Amino acid sequence: GGESSSSSDGTTVAAADQLKPDADLSKQSLQITVWDGYTPKELPQRVKEKLKVQDMKVALHATNEEAMNKLTAQGDSGVDVAFVSGQYAQALNAQGLLEPIHPELIPNLANLYPEATQLSYDKGNKYSVPYTWGTTGICYRTDLVKSKPTSWNDLLKPPAWAEKKVTMMTTERWLALPALKSLGYSVNTDKDEEITKARELLMAQKPHLLTYDDTTFGDKLVSGEAVMVEAWDGWCPTTDPKGNIAFAVPKEGSDLWVDTMVIMKSSKNKEAAHALINYILDPAIHSWAAENINYKVPNKAAMEKVKIAKGSLLDIPPARLLDGESIIDLGAASTKYTRLSADVQAK
Amino acid sequence: MRRSKLLYVPFWATYVFLYAPIAVLVVMSFNAGESAYTYEGFSLKWYGELAGDDRIMNGVVNTLIVAVGSTVIATVLGTLLAVGLARYTRSKLLDAVSLMPAVLPDLVLAIGLLVFYGMIQLTLGLYSVILAHGVFAMAFVAAVVRTRLSGADTSLEEASRDLGAGPVATFMRITLPQLAPGIVAGALLAFTLSLDEFVIAFFTIGNAEPTLPIVIYSMIRFGVTPKINALAAILLLVSFTAVIAGQRLTKIGESRAQD
Amino acid sequence: MSRSRGRRLGAFVFLTPGLTYLVVLLLVPLALVLSYTVFQRGRFGGVVYEFTAENFERLVDPLYLDVVIGSLKIAAVTTVIALLAGYPTAYLIAQLPRKWKTIALVAIVLPFWTNFIIRVYAWIILLSGPGLVNSGLKVFGIEPLELLYNEGAIVAGLVYSYLPLMVLPLFAAIEKLDPQLREASANLGASGLTTFRKVTLPLTVPGVLTGSLFVFVPSFGNFVIPELLGGSKSLMVGNLIRQQFLSARDWPFGSTLALALIAVLLVLLVAQAWVARRA
Amino acid sequence: MLKIDGVSRTFGDVTALDGVSLEIGQGEFFALLGPSGCGKTTLLRIIAGFETPDAGTVTLDGDDLLSLQPNRRPISLMFQSYALFPHMTVAKNVAYGLERERLPRQEVRQRVGEVLETVGLSAHASRKPAQLSGGQRQRVALARSIVKRPRLLLLDEPLSALDKKVRADMQLELKRLQHEVGITFVVVTHDQEEAMSLADRIAVFDNGQVRQVDEPIALYERPRSPFVADFVGANNLFPGVAGGSGGIESETFGELAGTPLTELEPGTEALLAVRPEKIELADENAARGLAGSVLDVSFYGGVSHVSVDVPGRAKPVLAAVQGAATLSVGAKVKVRWDAGDAVVMAAGQ
Amino acid sequence: MLKIDGVSRTFGDVTALDGVSLEIGQGEFFALLGPSGCGKTTLLRIIAGFETPDAGTVTLDGDDLLSLQPNRRPISLMFQSYALFPHMTVAKNVAYGLERERLPRQEVRQRVGEVLETVGLSAHASRKPAQLSGGQRQRVALARSIVKRPRLLLLDEPLSALDKKVRADMQLELKRLQHEVGITFVVVTHDQEEAMSLADRIAVFDNGQVRQVDEPIALYERPRSPFVADFVGANNLFPGVAGGSGGIESETFGELAGTPLTELEPGTEALLAVRPEKIELADENAARGLAGSVLDVSFYGGVSHVSVDVPGRAKPVLAAVQGAATLSVGAKVKVRWDAGDAVVMAAGQ
Ligand SMILES: Nc1ncnc2c1ncn2[C@@H]1O[C@H](COP(=O)(O)OP(=O)(O)OP(=O)(O)O)[C@@H](O)[C@H]1O
Ligand SMILES: Nc1ncnc2c1ncn2[C@@H]1O[C@H](COP(=O)(O)OP(=O)(O)OP(=O)(O)O)[C@@H](O)[C@H]1O
Ligand SMILES: NCCCCNCCCN
Ligand SMILES: [Mg+2]
Ligand SMILES: [Mg+2]
């Protein structure tokens, strides 16, 4: 690995390794960690064939926190490429755990939308490459709501017909998001009084919830246990055959989230890691994510290959996405959010 | 003596309570529909899906690797420890230490090991789970073997020495055979506990391919499909078979011993 | 003399391997956890070695203290229910003829051999909004009940998961009881109930204690069942600890919560040893 | 008073009791004597209500006992294995039965104190059973069953763990109880000497059946079957056929003097039994007697046992002589007895 | 041959052995007799090597035994608790010691067969210990220790579980072994009769100390201390001071006839002991004797025990008479004995 050093702008702290573009990939093997179902099942097989790497293993994490834990709580995690959301990539980089991206090894970076290279958590994609992006909103049952949700307050102070039929996410920043936005604050605020206000709102909301749910809120809508849930756009099952599930971005606004790919500094297979990212950015591969997990991908060439139904969740242009406030890592102040999440859940 | 009929109410209630959910699982595993909740006719398709699910199959393999590995460690070390504690020390403290993992909540051991592995910057994997399972499994083996030892008669070993056997011959020919049922029971317990252990494995497996409980945990967190019911039914079938086979074997063993 | 040298060699050969293992993989980790309670959190897990009392302050914050107390309550209720169901069951099993005794006992532990999480999951199928119980109720025209995501569901799951751990030690204690003691009591004029109160119960107290401990400990420290059946809305200490370690990455506070867990258990263990010695 | 009629009980293929009938009178001290496993304990357990007979009736003063729950029967049973409550002190164990009768505490305390005094355990009143020696435990069990002063007291091997001295004391104590309180005793023992020294009457059991019920001296001196003759006390048995003069005709020894217990047809198979203490060891030149040589002399304190090898007999003839015997091993002697001291009975019973 | 010199052993504050010295000769049959807990087993365990004395030496033919590991001592110990290997058959248990000597299998099989024949267990050779009755187990333990034909055989209560008949057979067998094979025996027992009938010499223990070592008849007839007089066999003891004529001067009864064992200064505190079988029960009008009334008559088979309440004595005088006693309770009698049958010894020892 290279030397680590803090630089004044705080963007890159790890020095780049010397990588060989012509390294023999058949001597390298890959370990990635990614959300369940976030990459094609046969990806390892195809990567092995295409890149001629020795082996490729996929570990799964359920949440960003789990991934962070794996990547920081042990020595060499053994992971070469990790999929984490933007602000976590930023935090990992601040720890000096990431290898700077060597653009020369990823020609497919050219496929990205220009907007996707200027995201606030990592301007210029110095240490991360975006994989999917989207926003957070309210996902609901059109047949079970008495009125369409339009405001975060519909979720935070559910009307009687939604009593104990709404869910929220607990992942720290997304737990706070509805409250912060409904109060008119930035999702990236580090002001104690604003966070306290949000906390009160969330505490007051808790008795009216069905449960907290970060992973299966879609199922709960389908089964009818819930009628309104806080959801990421792609995980809102608008494609459900019964066709009675819809997604709305509340009027107070929301975020722009990006799930990224990063290369670990500890990786011993950095050439293969770059080759993998390059392979994923291939339109043929990257479009898989849009088609199968219903998340938009920041890959112009890929999106052009996808058949997009009018008004579907995929039918949001990058420019509109940028209306959302990009979540960035807050450094030491991020612990205020973990604390907030812990406190609200403990109540 | 006569006993009250009233006692049979909680007795049967207990069994119904234990088996009703399991029966539901099994029935639903033959569900033709997609829902885990509503039965829509008979089908074996979930069994087919299960067989095709590499994650589950690999989970089974990994679970067995961990269970066998930790059982071997626990059985060897736990047996030695039990003999040592019973025969060579009177320390209450050592006793308590050896029993501690058995009464320590999984979670505490799990975070302890997480912290410790992190501290020594170990790369986690199946072997770190094996080591971790070894800790509590050893406590159970030691406890079971000790119970056996405390029932055992030291005069047997003395008799052996008296009849001219040295310390090693005595250990091999008298002590070990005496302990054998305890060792087997302890090993079985260790194996069973490891098979089902989730928390410690979850904390100490790192990026390695997960054990079955972890696979199931993440499957359930990402939603429920009748595939899990099929898995439950198969696990149940395997357990029943193992129990019945075990019964048969001990019966044969016993009748041999009678000759 | 040579015999004491033999003893020392024996102690070394038998005790060293196991104890070394336990020191390295149990005592050192626990010591680390305990030491973390006085340090500050690192941002991404781990600690910053600066002393602070903040973790303990936070522990007694009603927000968290209530969770600890709530968990104690849930674990206690679970234990009592398991005891009430387990005692008569164990009692009857112990009276069964030999052949049936084995079968009844195996039937008690058999669910243990399927996966723990699958067993919990069965309760989701039973209790959830569209689940079986509610479907059944619907047939009778009863509105669906909120059976899942509350403390009742957690207790049901815990009792279900750990009932065998109650029955086994109770069985061992009751089975060991000389039936002639009960006969002697009857012979001296005691009714069935008096015999139970004066002879059977006092003599099986150690089994009651062991069983209670075996149920209480994993219930108190559990996080899977509250998460799956309590919907992470009704949290227990286990969830908090897990959350601090895996989500919040606040190891010192997680360690402090774990310390509280250990402290409660130590109190129970000491109490158990005390009662067992007097019994 | 206690009437047992045709009681049978089998366990699987073991017949523990096979049509047992007995009548035991009010205030009687009755002993059940027999080898291990002959059904003695089973009979007591049926009387106490812990075992149900397959057939037969048991009545106490005419009332059917079998239909009563064990705790309603006016009977105390002292268990062969004591069955002391391990979690109670000696005093609590003894008080248990009295407390069930809801007697005033003062009275309970007093009676417990008295009975512990009687069995010599006052000093151990506050110990737990585990802290007592075997003999002391047995005395607690005894105290616990006698303190209730039941109408019928069943004792299963009550003194087997006691050493000679304490045992003698307890025997006296039991007899005193019988006389003073008028309790009816049924005592099980496999120790013939104890049965004989304690009981008014003895029932000899074998294999679930009653072989003979008699007073001790009658049983000893006039056993009605070879089994009883052999089991009760030591005996020297000689097989043969009943002779004309009252004795028997032995194939090897010719005519042997004896007294028949019942009229025997001359020529029927018979057995002659002589007690060791009735055997006289005469000089080898004596006129009468079976010639033999001394095989072994054992000194047993008050008496010595001399085994005499008599050619023609597989087992040596046993003679008991007072004090230390002056004979030495190998000495030639003649073994003889008076016709009145030898009993003749029909064989094969 | 076996020399025990000044051996002591304490457990915590219990002194199990307190300066025990004994010499046991080659081929001797030596018995240790004493009440429960007096240290007998502890002494055997020291000789066998399972306990280390706090002080003292043990030598066998002049060789220090204590420095040898148990398995190197030419000694077999039969454990009081049998210590049979539960996972081995009877035959395997018995063969165990021979196999350790690496004897040819043929020989092992033959010797095991012989010894099982001896103890009457040939039919049970392939059973496990759990399938045997208590008495059968004890015989396996005996067989296992005798099959090795050690130079020294230590037996801890070898016959306690056997019934009268089998016990007598085994006693004969042990004596035969001693004569034929010439093994030295040290046998522990708390049964005086057994000790007396078996042993060449007996050591009486009390409280970790040797009280007397003597031949059986000498021990019985000439006990050197009140403890031995009282412990070995029944005895009637009268306290007083040594008189001029050899007997004693009792406060309550005046002069009592007796024979002093050792010269006693007239006026020293003394005890007179008369065996029950030496007591004569004379008519109440007899000239000589202590007047009393019959308290109890117990028939013990061959003998009857008569307790006579003699005013002035707390304990009744015990007399043994041959056969069934003709006296009835309450009869007035006189108790008397010959001067030569009563032993006088110094008191307070
Ligand atoms: N519960 C039982 N199950 C099977 N067999 C039994 C049971 N109880 C007694 N027996 C058998 O019945 C027979 C009589 O037993 P019982 O206990 O009455 O004998 P016992 O005369 O009291 O003998 P001991 O003198 O050894 O106490 C024995 O063969 C015994 O094995
Ligand atoms: N390991 C031990 N620890 C403590 N005390 C002991 C131990 N072994 C023996 N003792 C005590 O030493 C004394 C002598 O015991 P020992 O076993 O030698 O008696 P014993 O003469 O064989 O008695 P018994 O006839 O009952 O077998 C007893 O008081 C006993 O309690
Ligand atoms: N199955 C994909 C799950 C991805 C979850 N991503 C959440 C990202 C929120 N930033
Ligand atoms: Mg019996
Ligand atoms: Mg002993």
The CATH number of residue C256's host domain is 1.10.3720.10
Residue D228 forms part of a structural domain: no
Ligand 2 nearest-atom number relative to CA E41: 22
Chain B, nearest residue to E44 by Cα: B162
Across the interface, whether the CB atoms of E52 and C2 are under 8 A apart is answered: no
Backbone angles phi, psi at B207, to 5 degrees: -95, 5
Please indicate whether residue E69, judged by its CB atom, sits closer than 6 Å to ligand 2. Answer: no
CA distance E140 to E128: 11
Residue C79 forms part of a structural domain: yes
Cβ contact D–A (≥3 pairs, < 8 Å):
no
- Find chain E residues with C-beta within 8 A of B255's C-beta: none
Q: Whose CA is nearest to atom 25 of ligand 2?
A: E36
D186 & D90 share domain: yes
Across the interface, whether the CB atoms of A345 and C232 are under 8 A apart is answered: yes
CA distance A73 to B250: 46
Across the interface, whether the CB atoms of E101 and B259 are under 8 A apart is answered: no
Structural domain ending residue among the three candidates D221, D251, D283: D221
Ligand 2 nearest-atom number relative to CA E42: 18
Listed in sequence order, the residues at least 6 apart from A215 whose beta carbon sits closer than 8 Å to its beta carbon are A62, A63, B221, B222, B223
Structural domain ending residue among the three candidates E181, E198, E221: E221
Structural domain ending residue among the three candidates D199, D221, D243: D221
Residue E74 forms part of a structural domain: yes
Q: How many residues does chain D have?
A: 349
Parent domain of E285: 234-346
The pairs formed by E18-23 with CB atoms below 8 angstroms and a separation of 24 or more are E18/E207, E18/E208, E18/E209, E19/E55, E19/E56, E19/E209, E20/E56, E20/E205, E20/E208, E20/E209, E20/E210, E21/E56, E21/E210, E22/E203, E22/E210, E22/E213
Q: Write out the two tokens for A343.
A: 């406190």
Tens digits of per-residue pLDDT, D246-262? 889 888 888 899 998 88
How much is the average pLDDT of B133-145? 91
Write down the pLDDT at residue D165: 66
Task: Tell me how many residue pairs between chain A and chain C have CB atoms under 8 A apart.
Answer: 83
Question: From ligand 4's centre to the CA of E171, what distance in Å?
Answer: 26
Write down the pLDDT at residue B224: 66
Residue C13 forms part of a structural domain: no
Chain E, nearest residue to C1 by Cα: E67
Residue E163 forms part of a structural domain: yes
Residue D226 forms part of a structural domain: no
Tens digits of per-residue pLDDT, C17-37? 999 999 999 999 999 999 999
Across the interface, whether the CB atoms of D76 and C187 are under 8 A apart is answered: yes
Dihedral angle sign, alpha carbons of residues A107, A111, A117, A122: negative
Total tally of structural domains belonging to chain D: 2
Ligand 3 nearest-atom number relative to CA A258: 10
Tens digits of per-residue pLDDT, D139-179? 899 999 999 889 899 999 888 766 666 777 788 888 888 88
Query: Taking the CA atoms of chain A, what radius of gyration do you get in angstroms?
Result: 20
Q: Taking a C-beta distance cutoff of 8 angstroms, is the pair E317, E261 a contact? A: no
Residues forming a β-bridge with A59: A33
User: Which ranges in C128-243 belong to alpha helices (H)?
Assistant: 132-139, 151-176, 179-187, 192-195, 201-220, 224-229, 237-242
D304 & D342 share domain: yes
**Closest CA of chain B from D69, distance in Å:** 9
Q: Write out the two tokens for C240.
A: 């908090």
Of chain A residues 182-211, which have a CB less than 8 A from chain C?
Answer: 206, 209-211
Q: What is the CATH number of the domain that holds D38?
A: 3.40.50.300
Residue D48 pLDDT greater than 90, yes or no: yes
Residue E71 forms part of a structural domain: yes
Residue E229 forms part of a structural domain: no
E272-298: buried (b, 16+ CB within 10 Å) or exposed (e) per residue? Answer: bbbbbbbbbbeeeeeeebbbbebbbbb
Dihedral angle sign, alpha carbons of residues E151, E156, E162, E165: positive
Tens digits of per-residue pLDDT, D55-108? 999 999 999 999 998 998 999 999 988 899 989 999 999 999 999 989 999 999
Beta strands in chain C, from DSSP E residues, in sequence order = 39-41, 47-51
Ligand closest to CA B221: 3
How large a percentage of chain B has pLDDT more than 70?
92
Write down the pLDDT at residue C1: 39
Q: Write out the two tokens for C100.
A: 């049936």
Q: Whose CA is nearest to atom 1 of ligand 3?
A: A38
Predicted confidence band of residue E349 (pLDDT cuts 50, 70, 90): low
Q: Write out the two tokens for D92.
A: 């609590």
Question: Considering only B95-104, B107-116, E66-75, E336-345, which range has the smallest mean pLDDT?
Answer: B95-104
How large a percentage of chain B has pLDDT more than 90?
27
Write down the pLDDT at residue E133: 67
D184 & D293 share domain: no
> A127 or E346: whose pLDDT is higher?
A127
How much is the average pLDDT of D173-197? 84
Cβ-in-10-Å burial (0-12, 13-18, 19+) of D111 comes to middle
Q: Say which of E35, E197, E323 has its CB closest to residue D300.
A: E197
**Closest CA of chain B from E71, distance in Å:** 4
Write down the pLDDT at residue A6: 40
CA distance E133 to E117: 17
Please indicate whether residue A37, judged by its CB atom, sits closer than 6 Å to ligand 3. Answer: yes
Does B208 reach chain A within 8 Å, measured CB to CB?
Answer: yes
Q: Write out the two tokens for C275.
A: 């009662």
Which of D10, D14, D45 to mutate to test ligand 1, by most ligand atoms within 8 A of the CB atom? D14
Cβ-in-10-Å burial (0-12, 13-18, 19+) of E59 comes to middle
3-class secondary structure, B129? helix
Q: Write out the two tokens for A241.
A: 């055959």
E119 & E190 share domain: yes
- The CA-CA-CA angle for residues B221, B226, B227, to 5°, reads 80
Residues forming a β-bridge with A58: A32
Ligand 2 nearest-atom number relative to CA E190: 25
Residues near ion ligand 5 (Cβ under 5 Å): E 41, 80
Q: Say which of A31, A77, A215 has its CB closest to residue B221.
A: A215
Mutate to test the interface with C, among A61, A68, A203 (most CBs of C within 10 A): A68
Q: Taking a C-beta distance cutoff of 8 angstroms, is the pair D58, D7 a contact? A: yes
Tokens 């006793």 identify what position?
A: B95
Write down the pLDDT at residue C233: 72
D89 & D177 share domain: yes
CA distance B167 to B153: 16
How much is the average pLDDT of D44-51? 94
What residues of chain C score a pLDDT lower than 50?
1-2
Tens digits of per-residue pLDDT, B43-62? 888 898 888 888 888 999 99
CA distance E303 to D89: 40
The gap from C-alpha B87 to its chain's centroid, in whole angstroms, comes to 27
Half-sphere exposure at residue A265, Cβ-oriented, CA atoms within 13 angstroms: 20
Q: What is the CATH number of the domain that holds D336?
A: 2.40.50.100
E52 & E181 share domain: yes
Dihedral angle sign, alpha carbons of residues C170, C173, C175, C177: negative
Tens digits of per-residue pLDDT, A49-60? 999 999 999 988
Ligand 1 nearest-atom number relative to CA D12: 4
Residue E223 pLDDT greater than 50, yes or no: yes
CA distance B131 to B149: 26
Question: From ligand 5's centre to the CA of E45, what distance in Å?
Answer: 10
Write down the pLDDT at residue C114: 77
Residue B3 pLDDT greater than 70, yes or no: no
D261 & D183 share domain: no
Total tally of structural domains belonging to chain C: 1
Parent domain of C80: 63-116+146-278
Predicted confidence band of residue A13 (pLDDT cuts 50, 70, 90): low
Q: CATH for B41-258, among 3.40.50.2300, 1.10.3720.10, 1.10.10.60, 3.30.420.80? A: 1.10.3720.10
How much is the average pLDDT of A13-35? 86
Longest CA–CA span in chain C (Å) reads 85
Closest CA relative to residue C60, chosen from C222, C197, C257, C273: C257
E162 & E41 share domain: yes
Residue A3 pLDDT greater than 50, yes or no: no
Closest CA relative to residue A108, chosen from A309, A335, A334, A283: A283
3-class secondary structure, B26? helix
- Find chain A residues with C-beta within 8 A of C239's C-beta: 345
Strand (E) or helix (H) holding B151: helix B126-151
Closest CA relative to residue E276, chosen from D323, D169, D159, D167: D323
E216 & E250 share domain: no
Tokens 């523990």 identify what position?
A: D16
Rounded to the nearest 5 percent, the helix, strand and coil shares of chain C are 80, 5, 15
E86 & E132 share domain: yes
3-class secondary structure, A84? strand
Residue D133 pLDDT greater than 70, yes or no: no
Predicted confidence band of residue E13 (pLDDT cuts 50, 70, 90): confident
Write down the pLDDT at residue C139: 82
D130 & D21 share domain: yes
Closest CA relative to residue A269, chosen from A59, A6, A51: A51
- The CA-CA-CA angle for residues D243, D249, D252, to 5°, reads 175
Q: DSSP secondary-structure letter at B249?
A: H
CA distance E329 to E307: 9
Listed in sequence order, the residues at least 6 apart from C61 whose beta carbon sits closer than 8 Å to its beta carbon are none
Residue A239 pLDDT greater than 70, yes or no: yes
Q: Taking a C-beta distance cutoff of 8 angstroms, is the pair D179, D101 a contact? A: no
ipTM > 0.95?
no
Question: Considering only A313-317, C17-21, D114-118, E333-337, which range has the smallest mean pLDDT?
Answer: A313-317
Please indicate whether residue D52, judged by its CB atom, sits closer than 6 Å to ligand 1. Answer: no
Write down the pTM of the prediction: 0.80
Question: From ligand 3's centre to the CA of A60, what distance in Å?
Answer: 12
